[in-house]
Chain A
Amino acid sequence: MEPLILEIITRDLHRYHALDKPEIRVGRALDNDVILSDATVAPHHLIIIQDASGAVEIRNLADTNPTRFEGKVENSFKTTRLPIKLQLGRITARLLSRGQAVPETKSLTGNGGTSHIFRHATWAVLLVLLCLFVAGLEYYLDSFNKLKWGELLEFILTETAARIAAFVLALSTLERLLVNRWEIIPVTVTVCLIFLVYHLLSPLTAELVYLFSSSVPLYLFNIGWYLVFIPLAIWLYLTKVTHLKMSKSILLSVFISSPFAIISIMQNPAIRSLFDDFSSSANYQKSLSALNWHISKTVSIETFIAQADNLDAGEFVD
């Protein structure tokens, strides 16, 4: 007779009980073989009996929240096929055989690599410092008065450091709720990477807007960033770093990124302009570039006036 395993499913680290007796009692009372401290579980909820032939019989003892066997309420359930899914109150459990295969081991260091940046504190610190440097550089490039170091430091601490810390705290708490673990380092690395990618793509997008004399790259960036890149980054993190299942990762990435997407849609003028039918402002091409790369040819005044003559009238909004 092969001993059975009772798997109690939790958010991440499931509990496993080896059932090494022919008759095992499960419930909330302390005289049970397997004790489940959940208020929805009866003091004596069920008995698992295994006979010499290997068949398993499970008897329900609970009047309140009776046991569900593979989703059905029955007083007794007998089978030789494992695993069996059980529902005891709000506790989900599985009865497994010892020979049940377990999923492939996920490497902490990625696909055999030795420098998985999501696991090393050094990488996290370096990336945080890089983020602060980028923020300081941006502050410098956007300041048009003599630089005051105190103000620069205040900006870095109150704007960038505080924001990164807030995101790390929020996402780490979320991960703690999801998988019962604090994952400060991978979350910090992820937040910093997203920050850096954003600050790399923003000026690139501005150059593209100037290059094509069109706002389309900006619209694509704004939409792509919040509706595609952020959910994708979270999904990758959840599948590759947290090792959640695909379906759960997709749902969670959409769930986590949707507030950012909604806020960005409500606040971003480029995105709002896609939904607003009317604007009393002239949304012309205001972008300017130090590189001055543009695909439009430079024309004479005569050509400009001749082409301007064909400028279509503005569209009325019904």
Chain B
Amino acid sequence: MRIIRAIWLIVLLGFLSESAQALETKAIFQMHQDTVLQIRVLNRETGKKSSIGSGFIIGDGRQVATNYHVISRIILEPELFYITYLGQNGREGELKLISLDIARDLALLESPTVLGEATKTSGLPPNGAPIYAMGNPLDLGLNIVVGTNGGILNQTDDSRILFSGSLNPGMSGGPTLNERGEVIGINVSTARNDISFVVPSRYLNSLLERAKTDPFEIDQDLKVEVTEQLLKYEKGYIKQVLDNKWPTIELRNLSLPGVISPTIRCWDNSAKLNATALYKRFQIRCANKNLVYLDSANKFVGNLVYEYFWLESDQMNSLRFNNLYEKLNKDQIDSHLDEDVVSNFNCDTWFVEISGQEFKTNLCRREYVEYQGLSDVLFTAALTGQKKQGFFITFIMTGVDFKSTLPLIKRFIEQIAWNP
């Protein structure tokens, strides 16, 4: 009898707790249904939507926070596009961009009139705590998604919270809320399967402060602002990487820079070889996760990618080995940007002594058409003079100041050690 009572008690408690959560979600939804807006970028000529996202009222009640990527079309073509909001109650109006944080994918918009009660921001709840994302998925109407807080991700340069809920297109820029209905972050992206990402609210607070002290001027060239912010962020990132102590990884005869920043993850990238192959190859690819959305044409920049490729054979003569070595020495940069977006690459070649070994190195750079001062940098180095061993490095950075990458490249190759 006691056992039956205990089972009933457990079932009842479970039911009650589910009811409490459902009520809480509903309350949060009701609390914010008038503060969460649909953000739309419209074409002045056609009057139709070019992109949509979400936003929410913040600051003094006239300001609206959203993602930079939601409104980025106006950066390249401000004369053609403009931003509007659409409220749950059908109210709509034009907004102007007053500040942005490109590195964290945030934008602050402003209405000429008060739009409603501003939301309050808060710090991050403990890991595992329930959090709620609101927004307008797929232009279908306001919705709320329940998930849990997965904490700050250091591989994204602390600019992302892991949200175990399902964010969908159109929810970008909407608020992520704690159980008290306070904004703890801004919806930003998803990796599908309930893996989503949120920008911590502290960056929004900084943006609000910046908008007060340094608001945009009416005719300010936003591309210059975007470039300056990006360069500042990337310079800071490179400095941060240089300030780190670099662990090494061993690959056959070499000690190599390993995970040089918490933002970087390294993976074995070795291809499966044919059983009759007369050689061995080992490949390690390291790449960062803190990419920055630039615009719809350029997509993401801020890549820091380096790849190691070791090749050896004791069954091939030197001519045959060199043919293979040369064939595998490929261009690893895989962006297919066109001439409206970037310049041609300019490359030069050096033979450089690294750890007592000679390497044939190439350094290439290309520039961004719309963002003066922004470059993509490609560095490669191939071991020479070995008859049956080959090794090459590819090192790529995108959307950076060219000169600021050179100290990083210098330290990178200085850290390579050849162990005979």
Which of A140, A307, A316 gathers the greatest number of chain B CB atoms within 10 Å? Answer: A316
Q: Within the assembled complex, what's the spacing in Å between the Cα atoms of A238 and B226?
A: 66
B347 near A317: Cβ-Cβ < 8 Å: no
* Cβ–Cβ < 8 Å partners of A299 in chain B: 350-353
B336 at the interface (CB under 8 A from A): yes
Offer 17 A-B interface pairs, CB within 8 angstroms, sorted by A.
A140-B320, A141-B323, A145-B274, A282-B347, A282-B362, A284-B380, A288-B322, A288-B325, A288-B390, A289-B322, A292-B384, A298-B353, A299-B351, A308-B409, A311-B363, A313-B367, A316-B339
**Nearest 7 interchain pairs by C-beta:** A314-B343, A284-B362, A314-B366, A290-B322, A282-B345, A284-B347, A278-B339
0/1 string, A139-177, CB within 8 A of B gives 1: 011111110000000000000000000000000000000
Residues of B within 8 A of A140 (CB): 320
Q: Does B365 contact A144, Cβ atoms closer than 8 Å? A: no
Q: Could you give, for residues 279-318 of chain A, a 1 whenever the CB lies within 8 Å of some chain B CB and a 0 otherwise?
A: 1111111111110101011111110110111011111110
Q: How distant is the Cα of A290 from the Cα of B390 in the complex, in angstroms?
A: 11
- A213 an interface residue at 8 Å Cβ cutoff? yes
CB distance from B396 to the nearest CB of A (A): 10
Q: Is A277's beta carbon under 8 Å from chain B?
A: yes
Q: What is the CA–CA distance of A277 and B367 in the complex, to the nearest angstrom?
A: 15
Chain A residues in 8 Å Cβ range of B279:
144
Q: How far is the CA of A304 from the CA of B410 in the complex (A)?
A: 9
> Quick one: which of B279, B362, B375 has the most chain A CB within 10 A?
B362
A22 CA to B299 CA, complexed, in Å: 93
* Binary flags per residue of B302-319, CB closer than 8 Å to A gives 1, else 0: 000000000000001011
Secondary structure of the A side of the interface? Answer: loop
Q: Which residues of B contact A (CB under 8 A)?
A: 274, 276-279, 316, 318-326, 329-331, 333, 335-339, 342-354, 358, 360-367, 369, 375, 378, 380, 382, 384-385, 387, 390, 402-403, 406, 409-410, 413-414
Q: Which one of B320, B335, B387 lies within 8 Å of A144 (CB-CB)?
A: B320
- A313 / chain B contacts, CB cutoff of 8 Å: 343, 346, 365, 367, 375, 402
Chain A residues in 8 Å Cβ range of B385: 292
Picked from B276, B324, B409, the residue with its CB within 8 Å of the CB of A305 is: B409
Q: Is the CB of A305 within 8 A of B406?
A: yes
What residues of chain B lie closer than 8 Å to A290, measured between beta carbons?
318-319, 321-322, 387
B329 and A288 contacting across the interface, CB-CB below 8 Å: yes
Q: Which residues on the B side are within 8 Å of A144 (C-beta)?
A: 277-279, 316, 320, 323-324
Looking at chain B's contact residues, the main secondary structure is: mixed
Decide if B322 touches A279 in the complex (CB within 8 Å).
Answer: no
Complex Cα distance A296/B384, Å?
A: 13
Question: Do B345 and A279 touch (CB < 8 A)?
Answer: yes
Q: Is the Cβ of A314 less than 8 Å from the Cβ of B344?
A: yes
- Contact between B347 and A141, CB atoms less than 8 A apart: no
Q: How far is the CA of A299 from the CA of B413 in the complex (A)?
A: 13
Residues from chain A with Cβ under 8 Å of B375 in the complex: 313-314
Q: How far is the CA of A304 from the CA of B346 in the complex (A)?
A: 16
Interface residues of A (CB under 8 A from B): 140-146, 213, 277-290, 292, 294, 296-302, 304-305, 307-309, 311-317
| B333: chain A residues within 8 A (beta carbon) | 281-282
Contact of B347 (CB < 8 Å), options: A143, A278, A285:
A285
CA gap between A146 and B358 in the complex, in Å: 30
Q: Is the CB of A288 within 8 A of B382?
A: yes
User: What are the residues of chain A within 8 A of B367 when measuring CB–CB?
Assistant: 313-314, 316
Interchain CA distance A280-B342 in the complex, whole Å:
8
Residues of chain A within 8 A of B350, CB atoms compared: 296, 299, 304, 307-308
**Residues in B whose Cβ lies below 8 Å from that of A305:** 406, 409-410
A140 to B315, CA, bound (A): 13
In the complex, what distance in Å separates the CA atom of A56 from the CA atom of B361? 83
CB distance from A279 to the nearest CB of B (A): 6
Q: How far is the CB of A214 from chain B (nearest CB, A)?
A: 8
* Pairwise interchain contact A309-B344, C-beta atoms closer than 8 A: no
Inter-chain contact A300/B276, CB cutoff 8 Å: no
B344 engages A298 (CB within 8 Å): no
Q: Which residues of A contact B335 (CB under 8 A)?
A: 280
CA distance A122 to B409 in the complex (A): 61
Q: Given A145-B274, A301-B414, do A282 and B351 touch, yes or no (CB 8 Å)?
A: no
| Cα–Cα, bound, A302→B350 (Å) | 12
Select from chain B the residue with minimum beta-carbon distance to A300. B353
**Which residues of A have CB within 8 Å of B277?**
144-145
Q: Which of B347, B354, B378 contacts A301, CB < 8 Å?
A: B354
Chain A residues contacting B352 (CB-CB under 8 Å) are: 298-301, 304
**Interface-central residue, B322, B325, B333, by most chain A CB under 10 Å:** B322
Q: Which residues of B contact A296 (CB under 8 A)?
A: 349-351
B residues in contact with A302, CB < 8 Å: 410
- A285–B403 CB distance below 8 A: no
Q: Report which of A213, A278, A312, A314 forms a contact with B338, defined as CB distance below 8 A.
A: A278
Contacts of B319 in A (CB 8 A): 141, 290
- Nearest to A144 among chain B residues (CB) is B324
| With A213-B349, A290-B387, A309-B403 already in contact, 8 other A-B pairs whose C-beta atoms are closer than 8 Å | A278-B339, A280-B335, A284-B331, A284-B378, A294-B351, A302-B410, A304-B350, A308-B409
A314 touches B345 (CB 8 A): yes
Contacts of B351 in A (CB 8 A): 294, 296-299
From B277, B351, B387, residue with most partner A Cβ within 10 Å: B351
What is the distance, in angstroms, from A134's C-beta to the closest C-beta of chain B? 14
In the assembled complex, the CB of A129 is this many whole angstroms from the nearest CB of chain B, namely: 22
Give the nearest-CB partner of A146 in chain B: B276
On whether the beta carbons of A315 and B343 are closer than 8 Å, the reply is yes
Q: In the assembly, what is the distance between CA of A312 and CA of B350, in Å?
A: 15
Partner among A142, A282, A288 whose Cβ is within 8 Å of the Cβ of B331: A282
Which chain A residue shows the least CB distance to B335? A280
Q: For B325, list chain A residues within 8 Å (CB).
A: 288
- Interfacial chain A residues near B414, Cβ < 8 Å: 301
Bound complex: CA A277 to CA B346 (Å): 13
The answer to whether B413 and A301 touch across the interface, beta carbons within 8 angstroms, is yes
CB distance from A107 to the nearest CB of B (A): 42
Q: A144-B278, A145-B276, A311-B402 are in contact. Are A288 and B320 (CB under 8 A)?
A: no
Smallest beta-carbon distance B172→chain A, Å: 28
Alpha-carbon separation in the docked complex, A184 to B413 (Å): 60
Say yes or no: B337 contacts A280, CB within 8 Å: yes
Across the interface, A282 reaches (CB within 8 A) one of B326, B353, B364, namely: B364
A315 to B180, CA, bound (A): 55
Shortest CB-to-CB span from B297 to chain A, Å, is 13
The chain B residue sitting closest to A285, CB to CB, is B349
Question: A285 to B362, alpha carbons, bound, how many Å?
Answer: 7
| B326: contacting residue among A145, A288, A304, CB under 8 A | A288
Query: A286: which B residues are within 8 A, CB to CB?
Result: 326, 329-331
